[in-house]
Structure formats: C-alpha cells, structure tokens
C-alpha cells in the first residue's frame, strides 16, 4: 500500500462492512456511516435479511466480470473467515450446495454445465434421482436430478457482519450512527451531510447504501437508478419424524428447489432448525401468496416440512440496478466510488467488491504520486 487515504464508507451492510474492514486493515483511516450502527438494523436491510448462500461455481456464465467476482469471492471468504476466527470471531460456514432440477430443460442445462466446468477443473457433480432418494430427510419426489457443487456453500450473514465490524473497530474504525442525506464536492475533497446536521469531509467516499446510494449521487449529475426487490424468509423448527433423526441429516449443504434456498442450521438453538428463502417481489410490499409458496418450499410436498413450525419471519430489500448489470462498481469521480446494487449476491460478492475498491484507491494514489 502507498499512502494512507481518508475514506468514508456510507452503508454498513455486508458490502460496506467488508470494504471498511479491508481498508482499515490495509492502514487507511476509515469512517463508517449508517444509522444501524446503534440499535437494531433497518427493517428493510437487504444484508440482514440474506441467507448467505454462496453460488459461485454453479453460476450460469463461465466468463465476464460476474464470473470473475464470484470465483475470487469464494477464495477470499475462506481466507477472511480464517483471519477473523484467529481473532476470536465465529462465523458459521458450511461448504456444499445442491441445485435440484424441476424439469427436463433445467436437467439438460445442469448436464451441460457440469461437463463444461469439469473440463475446466471445477468439481461439479451431476446427481441422478436415485442418489437423491438415498438422502434423509427426503427431497422433493418431483426432482429429476441435481447439480452438486462442493466449493460453493453458505455462511451466516449476521455473524459475518458482526465479526467484520468488531474486528475493524479493534483496528481503529470510527463509526457514526448517522444517515447521509447529501454528498457534495468541497475544496478538492468530499463532504457528507448527515440528517442530524453534522458534516464529515474525506478524501474518498464509498457509497454502499443500496437504493439510497443512487439518490445521493443524483444532485451530482450521476444517474445509476436502482429499484428495491423485496425478499421474505422463514426460520423453521422441525418436529420429530419417524424416517430420520437430525443427527442423521444427510444433505450435502444448502439445497435449492425451484429458486428457493433451504439452508440447514443445526448450529441454531435446539439443533433442528432451517432457513427458507428468499422470495423475489419487485417493490416494497410483501405478498402473502409468495410467503405461502416459500413455506411449502415451492410445492415440495414433504411431510417433514409440513410438520415444521415457523419460529421467525423476516424480509429485506435487495437493490437491483435498473439499467446496468449487478453490481454497480464504478468510480464516478476522483474520490467518489459507487459499490452497491449487488441485488441477490451482496454476501457472495462482498470480498471481491472490497478488493476492487481498495485497488481503485491504491492505483489513484500511485498515479497522483507519479504525476
């Protein structure tokens, strides 16, 4: 790293925290601004509503920025977890992801993808229905097979964010429980105006506040519109079933059926809980029908799932770019960075996004020093 740079990060979701944590550890003095730094997270927070499923090697594309970000993040998340756990922070992480095929077209796509990835050295496995039937508890009978990725997986987003925040504070991160209402150019730097009236100036400002980020840059002449997509999620507690016992749970990790993730969470109280999520509902209003479909895991028709009890329900808004692919990683002006609009992959792409921001800051500092 060259010279330390003052950085103000707006937004303390998983992306903002990842950026603040990495920059702080690299020696930059960082301020993190978000109202949720004191008290509970916002009710519509996308990061706190996420399930933390990491879909990297099962991504449908094999090239381009999205593919590169996903592969890098899978590697970096494991490195970060080792660093954080060495500092005494716990982040439940489980490798393995199984995508079930609900129709012939999806089954064919999985077959093509497994051959393509195996030829490139990625260990994707195509599972037939007979192998699925051997698993306990039972998977949907309508599943025509599955694609298993041992390198993908799931981590607990809330515990990851808590660990990043705590460790960054130990290394000097300064937090402000304020809402940013304006970003202004000021004497060659940037000034961030808070709702409470306070102002902060910084050499660099990184916007990671979802849809609100787009509103902050509009007065500056930048148009990067985003729209909220609501997602509902459930935590279920499983009742006893004659066909299986929780210690005998044989699933290889999280399982995806008809676009809905089911995440075993034996680490939660009672040892017999799971997460279901999340719905895709444009806008900000929750739909009861979408929740009912979620509760039935896309009409999976499983007795053991019907007997489960819903112990928690939550929702959040994921920012989806309106005119560009997710995520929005752009330097809008010298010292002003947009790192938002990750849509459904904020947890997965947080490490690679943080590295990108750190690289932009480092390269511009080097260019300034040489000019």
Residue 60, phi-psi category: left (phi > 0), alpha (psi -120 to 50), beta (remainder): alpha
Give pLDDT, residue 366: 73
- Identify any residues that bridge with 180 across adjacent strands, giving them in sequence order: 194
Whether the CB-CB separation of 210 and 338 falls below 8 Å is answered with no
Domains of the chain (ranges, CATH numbers)? 7-370 (3.50.50.60)
Nearest to 208 by CA among 337, 103, 106, 40: 337
- Quick one: pLDDT at residue 367? 74
Residue 203 pLDDT exceeds 70: yes
Q: Distance between CA 233 and CA 230 in Å, rounded?
A: 10
Q: With cut-offs at 50, 70 and 90, classify the pLDDT of residue 283.
A: very high
Cα-atom radius of gyration of the chain, to the nearest Å? 21
Over residues 43-57, mean pLDDT? 90
Given phi > 0 = left and psi -120 to 50 = alpha, else beta, which region is 279?
beta
Whole-angstrom distance, CA of residue 208 vs CA of residue 273: 32
Helix spans in 201-282 (H): 211-217
Which pair of structure tokens corresponds to residue 227?
A: 């729209």
How crowded is residue 162: how many other Cβ atoms within 10 Å of its Cβ?
A: 16
Kindly state the average pLDDT of the residues 284-291.
96
What does the pLDDT average to over 13-38?
96
Q: What is the mean pLDDT of residues 109-124?
A: 95
Mean pLDDT of 10-24: 98
- Say what the pTM is: 0.96
Mean pLDDT of 277-298: 96
d(CA 125, CA 146): 8
* Predicted confidence band of residue 369 (pLDDT cuts 50, 70, 90): low
| Torsions phi, psi for 296 (to 5 deg) | -90, 10
* pLDDT for residue 310 is more than 60: yes
Query: Can the peptide bond before residue 249 be classed as cis, meaning omega within 30 degrees of 0?
Result: no
- Is the confidence at residue 249, as pLDDT, over 60? yes
Pairing of strands 204-207, 336-340: parallel
Q: Where are the alpha helices (DSSP H) in the chain?
A: 14-25, 46-49, 64-86, 104-119, 129-133, 157-170, 211-217, 288-295, 303-306, 346-370
Q: pLDDT at residue 1 above 60? A: no
pLDDT digits (tens, 9 = 90+) for 135-177: 988 999 999 999 999 999 999 999 999 999 999 999 999 999 9
11/178 Cα distance (integer angstroms) = 10
Across the range 63-90, mean pLDDT stands at 97
Q: How confident is the model at residue 41 (pLDDT cuts 50, 70, 90)?
A: confident
């Amino acid at each position: 790293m060259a010279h330390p740079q003052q950085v103000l990060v707006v937004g303390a979701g998983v992306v903002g925290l990842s950026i603040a944590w990495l920059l702080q550890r690299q020696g930059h003095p960082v301020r993190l601004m978000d109202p949720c730094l004191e008290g509970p997270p916002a009710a519509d927070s996308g990061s706190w509503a996420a399930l933390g499923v990491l879909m990297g090697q099962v991504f449908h594309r094999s090239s381009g920025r999205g593919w590169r970000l996903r592969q890098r993040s899978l590697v970096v998340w494991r490195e970060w977890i080792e660093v954080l756990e060495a500092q005494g922070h716990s982040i439940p992480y489980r490798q393995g992801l199984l995508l079930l095929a609900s129709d012939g077209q999806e089954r064919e796509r999985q077959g093509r993808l497994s051959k393509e990835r195996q030829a490139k050295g990625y260990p994707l496995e195509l599972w037939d229905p007979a192998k699925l039937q051997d698993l306990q508890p039972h998977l949907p009978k309508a599943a025509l097979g599955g694609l298993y990725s041992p390198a993908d997986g799931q981590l607990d987003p809330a515990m990851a964010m808590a660990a990043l925040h705590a460790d960054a504070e130990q290394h000097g991160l300064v937090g402000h429980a304020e809402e940013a209402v304006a970003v202004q150019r000021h004497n060659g730097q940037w000034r961030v105006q808070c709702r409470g009236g306070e102002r902060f100036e910084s050499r660099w400002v990184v916007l990671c506040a979802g849809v609100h980020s787009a509103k902050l840059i509009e007065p500056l002449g930048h148009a990067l519109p985003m729209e909220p997509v609501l997602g509902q999620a459930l935590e279920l507690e499983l009742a006893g079933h004659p066909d299986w016992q929780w210690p005998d749970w044989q699933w290889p990790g999280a399982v995806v059926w008809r676009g809905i993730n089911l995440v075993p969470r034996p680490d939660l109280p009672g040892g017999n809980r799971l997460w279901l999520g999340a719905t895709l509902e444009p806008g900000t209003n929750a739909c009861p029908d979408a929740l009912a479909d979620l509760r039935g895991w896309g009409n999976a028709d499983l007795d053991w799932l019907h007997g489960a009890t819903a112990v928690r329900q939550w929702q959040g808004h994921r920012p989806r770019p309106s005119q560009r692919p997710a995520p929005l990683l752009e330097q809008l002006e010298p010292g002003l960075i947009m790192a938002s609009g990750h849509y459904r992959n904020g947890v997965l792409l947080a490490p690679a996004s943080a590295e990108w921001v750190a690289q932009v800051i480092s390269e511009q500092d080097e260019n300034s020093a040489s000019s």
